[in-house]
Amino acid sequence: MTDVLPVPDTAAGTRQAGAVTMALSGQLCLHAGAALATVLIPMIGGPATVGLRLGLSAVVLLAVCRPALRGRTRADWAVVIAFGATLAAMNMLFYEAISRVPLGAAVTIEFLGPLVLSVVAARGAARWLWAALALGGVALLGRDGIGGINLVGGAFALAAGALWAAYIVLSQRTGGRFARLDGLALAMVVATAISVPIGLVTAGPGVFSPAVLGMGAAVALLSSLIPYVFELTALRRLRAASFAILMSLAPALAAVAGFVLLGQRLDPLEGVAIALVVAASVGAVRARA
Which pLDDT belongs to residue 13? 64
Q: Hey, what amino acid is at 189? A: V
Give, in order, the Cα–Cα distances in Å from 90 to each of 4, 48, 52, 260: 56, 14, 15, 25
d(CA 191, CA 274): 30
* CA proximity to 162, closest of 104, 115, 215, 128: 115
Sign of CA dihedral 53, 156, 36, 111: negative
| Of the listed ranges 17-21, 22-26, 166-170, 229-233, the one predicted with least confidence | 229-233
Which pLDDT belongs to residue 7? 46
Residue 156 pLDDT class (50, 70, 90 cuts): very high
d(CA 70, CA 80): 14
| Of the listed ranges 42-51, 117-126, 153-162, 276-285, the one predicted with least confidence | 117-126
Return the number of other C-beta atoms located less than 10 Å from residue 8's C-beta: 8
Phi-psi region of 70 (alpha: psi -120 to 50; beta: other; left: phi over 0): beta
Q: Is the pLDDT of residue 42 over 70?
A: yes
Note the pLDDT tens digit of each residue in 195-253.
Answer: 999 988 888 777 888 888 899 899 989 988 888 778 777 777 777 667 777 777 888 88
Note the pLDDT tens digit of each residue in 77-115.
Answer: 999 999 999 999 999 999 999 988 888 888 888 888 877
Rounded to a whole number of angstroms, the CA Rg of the chain reads 20
Q: Hey, what amino acid is at 71? A: G
Residue 289 pLDDT class (50, 70, 90 cuts): low
* CA proximity to 92, closest of 149, 157, 151: 157
d(CA 15, CA 237): 7
- Count of alpha carbons within 13 angstroms of residue 92, beta-carbon side: 20
- How many H helices and E strands in the chain? 13, 0
Residue 147 pLDDT class (50, 70, 90 cuts): very low
